[in-house]
Structure 1
Amino acid sequence: MPKKAFVALVTCFNEDETINYEATRAQVRRQVEAGNNIMCAGTNGDFSALTFEEKVRLTEEVADEVAGRVQIIVNAGMPATFETLKLAREFDRIGVDGIAVITPFFIACTQDGLIRHFSTVADAVQTPVYLYDIPARTQNHIEPETARRLAAHGNIAGIKDSGGAKDTLEAYLAVAKDMDGFDVYSGPDHLVLWALENGAAGCISGLGNAMPHVLAGILNAFNAGDIGEAERQQAIFAAFRTDLYALGFAPAMVKRALYLQDASVGASRQPALLPDLDQDARIAAILRRYDLL
């Protein structure tokens, strides 16, 4: 099967911090035209700053804009299983290709608690569920053996690994190798090609918001068997990541880099970092270096 790239789509905001759905739709079109699939309401989509009702409408708007042209995964994860389940049922009703469930945050979970959390959601919906591990943000980590146990559930289809540790990614890939129907999607942008070469089904990238064609270029070249070109595109992607992320919190830097390319995306909701003119100038210099501005 061809490998797939998903972009963890930003959510666009107006100056009064309401969601700008039309601008968000424009970002969907930009990614679809580049050849990327969509993940919405994830970390780069400011999901923790959105209300329940906004997440539902956002998913409806994205699904309507995509109109079946690419695949959509939407994140339903919240600290409590109760609200996660309510969101997952709404996304199931709307009709998406996958429901991601980020590990609960603020609430410290045992591995048994994580198994119960994910299994409860997967039991309740028809849409395939994807585990979403990002321990640096949630302080809860899906151990590889826990992923193996969850992979045996008939409606848990894979995992997004945003931990950034190659050994953990390798352990998840070993689970995928042993368990049919369980796919691994890599989150770290510097490991896209490495993950593809080692059995990942694809990647889910935040950086692709600002550099969609290079992300698509890695996947297209790999799927075509042109590893030299895939390596060239990955080198560009990794260098851009290094330069941009050196300036601050990665999702904030991605959003600001995109803002400087298209101001309609807006800023993020408070208490996210306010725009900084000096930082904007440094981001703009990076964008010009990569012919993005």
Structure 2
Amino acid sequence: MSQSAGKKLTGLIAATFTPFTSQGEVNLSEIGPYIDYLTEKQGVNKIFVNGTTGEGMSLSVAERKLLAEDWCRKAKGKMEQVILHVGCTSLKDSQELARHAVEIGVDGIAVIAPSFFKPRSAESLRAYLQEVAGVAPTVPFYYYHLPALTGINLPASDLLEGIETLIPSFRGVKFSGTDLMDFGQCVSRILPHWSVLYGVDEQLLAALALGASGAVGSTYNYLGSHMNKLVSEFESGNLVQARSLQFKMQELIRYAIKVGFDLGVNKQLMNEVSGLQLGPPRLPLMPCPQEHAVSIKQKYQHLFPIR
């Protein structure tokens, strides 16, 4: 078990892209340079691996294990915390990945709700999460709330009721929804050692105002240094400066949506900005048209010029 596994999860956490070759195979050779880019260029030293941004649900169990091992090994001594998403549509697969996470010494695991056969109540979702957490009882456990993609609109705050008795390793929620009332209710119900991490990057400042412990997002891969500045401005009470940074990020996201913004485009934007070769997304996601990525990169450079 990692030394930092007991440390409360706070600050910015980059949801990492999975590097693929041009043929769509996992490309481990880019992970080391990727970690260096995040720590040295973006000031981000915590990662969330094999989540939505990492196309975790499009990967086989074997691929997810391979990636988890490589991220953990190469992050050692460079990253403060590695959180691994182990959620699957199959309970048995999730448990297999959770057991593997214990073996490789991750700092936490997260589980998204199954989205084909859906839990119909907070009780059934808690029971599912309990079965996964139970095979990795020493590892901090997080529920990953993503209603737009799972189609499960159960309030995350309902899930928290009594969860610490069912899952003693429970440490919080990765809340990737836009319902700020539900988010606020999660914050109001947390225990001191829990974290509520916000996952909608363009609303980060609102979440901080409601008491977010930190944030997990794809844009922190290439906007981490600027969003770290937003967090520090907020914590210093400089709301005008914090808003200015949030509005710039919103302008970039809004522009990207107008020209077409999905995970494939987001991944290619990361390639353009970082110089890494993370490859295309995996089908059914389509590769990004080059002109889209170049156009968004130009907007990025206009809004966030290198000083």
Give the TM-score of the pair, scaled to structure 1. 0.90
CA separation in 2, counterparts of 1:142 and 1:83? 23
Q: Does 1:70 align with 2:84?
A: no
Q: Which residue of 2 aligns with 1:270?
A: 283
Q: Which residue of 2 aligns with 1:162?
A: 176
Q: 1:235 pairs with 225, 247, 259, which one? A: 247
* SS state at 2:182 partner: helix
Q: Which residue of 1 aligns with 2:202?
A: 190
Q: 2:135 pairs with 124, 133, 149, which one? A: 124
Pairwise CA distance, 1:135: 1.1
Moved >6 Å (runs of 4+): none
Q: Which residue of 2 aligns with 1:180?
A: 192
Q: Does 1:205 align with 2:214?
A: no
- Seen in structure 2, the aligned counterparts of structure 1 residues 96 and 292 have a Cα distance that, compared at 3 Å, is farther
For the 8 Å contact 1:185–1:201, the answer to whether it is kept is yes
CA separation in 1, counterparts of 2:236 and 2:33? 29
CA separation in 2, counterparts of 1:106 and 1:54? 21
Q: Which residue of 1 aligns with 2:47?
A: 38
For the 8 Å contact 1:186–1:200, the answer to whether it is kept is yes
Q: Which residue of 2 aligns with 1:26?
A: 33
What amino acid does structure 1 have at the position aligned with 2:129? Answer: F
CA separation in 1, counterparts of 2:139 and 2:116? 27
Q: Does 1:259 align with 2:266?
A: no
For the 8 Å contact 1:186–1:195, the answer to whether it is kept is yes
Q: Which residue of 2 aligns with 1:16?
A: 23
CA separation in 2, counterparts of 1:24 and 1:244? 26
Percent of aligned positions that are identical? 23
CA RMSD of aligned residues (A): 2.2
* SS state at 2:253 partner: helix
Q: Which residue of 1 aligns with 2:103?
A: 93
What amino acid does structure 2 have at the position aligned with 1:4? Answer: G
How many corresponding residue pairs? 291
Q: Does 1:217 align with 2:217?
A: no
Give the TM-score of the pair, scaled to structure 2. 0.87
- Seen in structure 2, the aligned counterparts of structure 1 residues 292 and 71 have a Cα distance that, compared at 3 Å, is farther
Deviations 1:187-209 (A, max 9, x none): 01122122222211100011112
Pairwise CA distance, 1:225: 5.3
Pairwise CA distance, 1:259: 2.2
CA separation in 1, counterparts of 2:220 and 2:258? 17
Pairwise CA distance, 1:49: 1.6
* SS state at 1:114 partner: helix
CA separation in 2, counterparts of 1:58 and 1:194? 33
Pairwise CA distance, 1:2: 9.0
* SS state at 2:23 partner: coil
CA separation in 1, counterparts of 2:231 and 2:302? 23
CA separation in 1, counterparts of 2:237 and 2:305? 27
